[in-house]
Every structure is written in C-alpha cells, then in structure tokens.
C-alpha cells in the first residue's frame, strides 16, 4: 500500500493543478467524483474478501 500512496501523492497534485489550470474547477469536481465512485464501487464489490481478512 505504501507504493500506491507514494504514487498517488506524486500524481494527484500534478494532475489536479493541470486540470484546474486548463479547464477550471467544474471538470475537476466531475473527475474527482468519478474516481471516488470507482473506489467506492471496488470496495463494495470486495467487501466479503475484506471481511475475511479482518477475522
């Protein structure tokens, strides 16, 4: 998980700054919402697998 965090912490500021500069805040919120939805959907689909690791 540390590698993923490192990649996200490097990629996110570059991506969001570029998106904001080129297109403004509107598309940035849309992309952010889609990414959050994808993460939530992935989490929900794997909830049983996650629960098995918590026991």
pLDDT reported for residue 32: 85
User: What per-residue confidence (pLDDT) applies to 45?
Assistant: 95
CB neighbourhood size of 15 (10 A): 13
What is the structure's pLDDT at 1? 59
pLDDT tens for the chain, 55 residues: list them: 578 788 888 988 998 898 889 999 888 889 889 989 999 999 999 999 988 888 7
What's phi and psi for 46, nearest 5 deg? -105, 20
Could you tell me the residue range of the domain that residue 17 belongs to? 2-54
Please tell me the number of Cα atoms within 13 Å of 8 on its side-chain side.
Answer: 6
Residue 20: CB partners within 8 Å, gap ≥ 6?
28
| Domain count along the chain | 1
């Amino acid at each position: 998980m540390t590698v993923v965090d490192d990649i996200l912490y490097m990629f996110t500021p570059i991506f969001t700054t570029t998106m904001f500069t080129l297109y403004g805040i509107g598309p940035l919120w849309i992309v952010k919402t889609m990414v959050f939805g994808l993460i939530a959907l992935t989490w929900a689909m794997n909830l049983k697998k996650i629960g098995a690791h918590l026991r």
